[in-house]
Structure 1
């Protein structure tokens, strides 16, 4: 069983998806709502897979000062509330605080702890912003990890939406751009075999929504599985892609809900 560590922040405006409001029709508050929806879909996908869900969250002490103690409750309480809403059995999920000052450090500490101290056979880190990560893909990654020490899921602009390991690598700055290439090089340097998953969208900016929204709408029209919370929210807002003066652009039929 692969332990899947879903990296989660409390969904506070300005803290999560800070670039999305500047590059899309969404406000900072709506970007936080979208983050919460994507995180719920990611946790649900892991729960329904053959993996073990570990919600790895940042607490107040690890948040930037302007966002610490800015929520209605503690960071842990906010993340747990999302899990309660998303999961069939939230009591089965583990919750642990992330340790480290950067994404690379936090990912490295998590993987090293799971493989080294908990003796997990395999462990993976996924962001809470990759709603197209499915149960099927997670189970496929687990199969690939039987033949490869490292399995990576590419995302836009050289990022990754999944990073799985049976053996550790040098994680110092391992998520530096382009993360898919950097992580692969670290794995090869350590003598590991690397496998890959299909590319999937991880949302950080409006450009990412340009990829995500048409795919979700197409899957809805075809009667295929979609990330429920994410798709519902974007369709409620009427977010769509249309041809603009400079090419495809995001539009919406509902006004700012913040």
Structure 2
């Protein structure tokens, strides 16, 4: 079975999407709520797929000091999962280990592949709401014949990174992660395949792309990420000739 690893920080203001408040109409608290909504949409997509979900979070001591609180990160993320999922009992919650994002991703992927003998491991950075059940299952098929499968995001980022074998993870997530991972895969002699590009969020311009697609999907009566869409409606976010705005 494919193990899907969702990289998830507790949704605290200024911690997730730290540049969003300065580049969009959202406040830091609203950006944190958006991060929570995207995490819930992603959890639900994984639950409905043929994969198993592992929520991989930074423990309190690995968070920047200004974002540490008395609340336990695992408890905050379990609360999100309880809102999103019908049954949380099969979801694993495990702390990340490592001093950098690359190290933490590498430690998790390597452990799952080599120690737990997972057939494939997928890492989702939690930076797009457009991860779907169909997309997860389709990408899993690609992992049957390719050691690495990547989902491109904005500016060379990735929203999906799947592995059936390891690479040198030392600086694997160094920007642009898409290029970095592809080069590392080639260095190991691995075959790399890609899944469709999705808009990912870091800045207000990125969020504008997400809002525009969500509103287009609503107009076309197509499937939308439920929690993210509800928040976009609540905040009155729209995209007009001036860019991202609020109604």
Tell whether the structures are fold-level matches, with TM greater than 0.5: yes
Secondary structure of residue in 2 paired with 1:37: helix
Q: What is residue 197 of structure 1 aligned with on the other side?
A: 195
2:90 to 80, 92, 98: 92
Answer yes or no: is the 8 Å Cα contact 1:54–1:95 preserved in 2.
yes
2:108 to 100, 107, 110: 110
Answer yes or no: is the 8 Å Cα contact 1:151–1:196 preserved in 2.
yes
Q: What is residue 8 of structure 1 aligned with on the other side?
A: 8
In the alignment, structure 1 residue 252 sits paired with structure 2 residue 242: no
Answer yes or no: is the 8 Å Cα contact 1:46–1:52 preserved in 2.
yes
Deviating above 4 A after TM superposition, structure 1's stretches of 4 or more consecutive aligned residues are none
Secondary structure of residue in 2 paired with 1:90: coil
- Separation (CA, whole Å) in 2 of partners of 1:49 and 1:243: 38
Answer yes or no: is the 8 Å Cα contact 1:161–1:202 preserved in 2.
yes
Secondary structure of residue in 2 paired with 1:53: strand
- Separation (CA, whole Å) in 2 of partners of 1:98 and 1:65: 17
Alpha-carbon deviation of 1:129? Answer: 2.3
In the alignment, structure 1 residue 80 sits paired with structure 2 residue 101: no
2:164 to 156, 163, 166: 166
Q: RMSD of the alignment, in Å?
A: 0.8
Alpha-carbon deviation of 1:106? Answer: 0.9
Alpha-carbon deviation of 1:143? Answer: 0.1
Alpha-carbon deviation of 1:88? Answer: 1.3
What count of residue pairs does the alignment treat as equivalent?
Answer: 247
- Separation (CA, whole Å) in 2 of partners of 1:75 and 1:86: 17
Q: What is residue 58 of structure 1 aligned with on the other side?
A: 58
Q: Which whole-Å deviations, capped at 9, do the CAs of 1:180-213 have from their partners, x for residues lacking one?
A: 0010000000000000000012211111112111
TM-score by length of structure 1 reads: 0.94
Answer yes or no: is the 8 Å Cα contact 1:42–1:129 preserved in 2.
no
Q: Which whole-Å deviations, capped at 9, do the CAs of 1:38-74 have from their partners, x for residues lacking one?
A: 110011111111111001011111111111126xx21
Q: What is residue 240 of structure 2 aligned with on the other side?
A: 242
- Separation (CA, whole Å) in 2 of partners of 1:151 and 1:89: 28
- Separation (CA, whole Å) in 2 of partners of 1:158 and 1:50: 28
Q: What is residue 45 of structure 2 aligned with on the other side?
A: 45
Secondary structure of residue in 2 paired with 1:217: helix
- Separation (CA, whole Å) in 2 of partners of 1:51 and 1:35: 22
Secondary structure of residue in 1 paired with 2:66: coil
1:216 to 214, 232, 235: 214
- Separation (CA, whole Å) in 2 of partners of 1:240 and 1:110: 38
Q: What is residue 154 of structure 1 aligned with on the other side?
A: 152
Answer yes or no: is the 8 Å Cα contact 1:156–1:202 preserved in 2.
yes
1:227 to 215, 222, 225: 225
1:144 to 139, 142, 145: 142
Unpaired stretches in structure 2, ≥5 consecutive residues: none
TM-score by length of structure 2 reads: 0.98
Q: What is residue 256 of structure 1 aligned with on the other side?
A: none
- Separation (CA, whole Å) in 2 of partners of 1:130 and 1:50: 20
- Separation (CA, whole Å) in 2 of partners of 1:164 and 1:110: 12
